[in-house]
Every structure is written in structure tokens, then in C-alpha cells.
């Protein structure tokens, strides 16, 4: 990733012959440079933006793969080189290096420190990883959570089941019903030990009654708070949407070797 994909001297310096733009608008025709191939994929930088069931990730990675296969250099471009373009680069690294989301993200962050896909993109990349990086779109058709009272499609969001596999060391049970409800892999935002809450990604068991409401487990236990509009973290001041907070006092933290309820 570089800044300014319309700057001729930069493209020439890095011998770039292809530009992939993942944004809401393509590069203007008068800004394009001769002998450079441009591809545009319409993508919103929003947690609700799908990249799996509509084939966006597949199309982007295919374009990069074609360039690499032809010994060409391609730049992946979005507005800020933080979320959308990073997501595509992380996906490509995952597929080509057969690595985890976290490993691929660290690779990208080694050259772009600010790299930080939004919560929805990270959620989908993790789902994709655990589906064996399979591009079959039918696997991802039902990744939507209905939020009562929210009719704007852009504010509906992805949901997940708890991420549990051999690599998952820390898991969390509902203190009331003792069922496993999320794992450390589902925690989407770093929270200091002194904080009394966990910020998690959208989960399939969520009992959501309004766009902003108390958060309950399917057993009826009140666990925290949900806000579809998002909120600002008091620790790092980063805005996160959707805002799904679990009170630490409502769950029990366990190690992987401890038996979990079905």
C-alpha cells in the first residue's frame, strides 16, 4: 500500500502496473496514468459491509493473484489505507501463506503501522479462516443479525458463534446458565485489566430488543449493553460500532481444559 495512487512518480518508483481501489468511488478518469490497469470494487468502510457472501474478497484476491502471477506489482488502495485496503491485503496474506488473521495482520502492520480493519471486516476474516478460507458464497448467506427497530440495512450487522478450536485457550461462560457464550477470540477491542467490561463482536445468542438496549443471553440473564449506533471507548477514545459490552461480573473466565456446557 502506498499513498497517492495517482502520483506518477510513485507508481514508476515501485514499478506498479496495477491499482486496485476498494472504496465508494473509483479514481477519476483524468487522474489515471497511462499503461496502468485500474480496478474498482465498491466497498463501504462499515462493520455491516459484507465481503464474503457477495464475493468482494474473492474478486479482490483474484485480481491481486493475477498480477503476482504475471510478475506485476499491484497497489491496493482505499481512502485512508487503514481498513478496507488492509482487509484485502490481510485476506491475500492469509490465503497465500496459510496463516491466521492475526499473523496476516501483523505482516501488514509491519509495513503499515496504522493498519486496522473495522470490527465487521475482522469478524468476517475470522469466519473465513475457520471455514478453511473457502470462497463458496453460500456459506456466508446468513451472516446477518436482525435488530428490531433498525430498518436501515447499513445498521444491521454480522453475527457469529463463539470461536472455539484447539487454539482457543480462554473461554467465557454465562454465570447464570453456565453455557459457553464467547471466547478470547471474540473479544474485539483491547480493554485494560482494570476495566470491568469486555467489548465483543456480534454473537448469535444475542437477545436484542432495540437499537440501544440492555444485552441479554438467550437464557434471560442480563449481561451488558448493546448500541447499534456505537460508542466511544473511554480508554483509547476509539469509536466502535456496534457497541457490545459484557459486564465481567456476569461471566466466568475459564481455561480451555475445563469442560464446558453444551
Please enumerate in sequence order all residues whose Cβ is within 8 A of that of 189, keeping only pairs 6 or more positions apart, or say none.
119, 199, 233, 238, 240
Report the distance separating Cα 198 and Cα 244, nearest Å.
Answer: 8
CATH 2.60.40 fits 154-255, yes or no: no
Domain range annotation of the chain: 8-140, 154-255
pLDDT at 205 (0 to 100): 74
C-beta of residue 155 within 8 angstroms of C-beta of residue 169: no
Q: What angle do CA 225, 230, 235 make, to 5 degrees?
A: 80
How far, in Å, are 61, 96, 100, 112, 134 from residue 93 at the CA level? 9, 5, 9, 14, 14
CA-wise closest residue to 123 among 242, 251, 246, 210: 242
pLDDT at 142 (0 to 100): 52
- Same topology between domain 8-140 and domain 154-255: no
Q: Which residues of the chain fall short of a pLDDT of 50? A: 1-3, 145-156, 258-262
* Residues with active-site annotation: 78
Parallel, antiparallel or unpaired: strands 239-240 and 212-216: unpaired
| 3-state secondary structure at position 66 | helix
Question: For helices 84-97 and 56-69, what crossing angle results, to 10°?
Answer: 60
What are the grid coordinates assigned to 124, written together? Answer: 468476517
Q: pTM higher than 0.75 for the full model?
A: no
Report the distance separating Cα 15 and Cα 223, nearest Å.
Answer: 53
Beta bridge pairs of residue 230: none
State the fold for domain 8-140: 3.90.190
User: Residue 127: phi, psi to the nearest 5?
Assistant: -60, -45
For 142-182, the DSSP string reads T--B--TT---GGG-B--B----STT--EEEEETTT-BEEE
What are the grid coordinates assigned to 163, written together? Answer: 470461536
Amino acid at each position: 500500500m502506498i499513498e497517492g495512487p495517482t502520483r506518477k512518480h510513485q507508481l514508476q518508483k515501485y514499478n506498479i502496473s496495477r491499482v486496485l481501489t476498494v472504496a465508494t468511488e473509483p479514481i477519476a478518469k483524468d487522474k489515471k496514468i497511462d499503461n496502468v490497469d485500474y480496478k474498482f470494487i465498491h466497498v463501504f468502510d462499515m462493520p455491516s459491509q459484507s465481503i464474503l457472501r457477495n464475493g468482494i474478497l474473492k474478486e479482490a484476491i483474484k485480481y491481486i493473484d493475477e498480477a503476482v502471477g504475471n510478475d506485476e506489482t499491484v497497489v491496493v488502495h482505499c481512502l485512508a489505507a487503514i481498513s478496507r485496503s488492509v482487509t484485502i491485503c490481510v485476506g491475500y496474506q492469509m490465503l497465500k501463506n496459510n496463516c491466521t488473521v492475526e499473523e496476516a495482520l501483523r505482516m501488514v502492520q509491519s509495513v503499515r503501522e496504522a493498519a486496522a480493519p473495522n470490527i465487521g471486516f475482522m469478524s468476517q476474516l475470522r469466519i473465513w479462516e475457520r471455514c478453511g478460507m473457502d470462497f463458496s458464497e453460500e456459506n456466508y448467506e446468513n451472516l446477518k443479525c436482525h435488530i428490531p427497530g433498525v430498518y436501515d440495512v447499513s445498521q444491521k450487522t454480522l453475527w457469529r458463534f463463539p470461536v472455539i478450536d484447539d487454539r482457543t485457550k480462554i473461554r467465557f461462560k454465562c454465570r447464570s446458565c453456565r453455557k459457553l457464550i464467547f471466547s478470547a477470540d471474540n473479544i474485539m477491542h483491547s480493554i485494560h485489566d482494570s476495566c470491568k467490561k469486555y467489548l465483543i463482536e456480534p454473537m448469535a445468542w444475542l437477545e436484542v430488543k432495540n437499537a440501544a438496549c440492555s444485552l441479554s443471553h438467550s437464557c434471560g440473564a442480563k449481561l451488558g449493553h448493546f448500541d447499534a449506533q456505537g460508542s466511544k471507548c473511554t480508554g483509547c477514545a476509539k469509536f466502535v460500532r456496534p457497541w457490545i459490552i459484557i459486564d465481567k461480573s456476569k461471566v466466568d473466565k475459564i481455561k480451555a481444559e475445563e469442560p464446558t456446557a453444551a
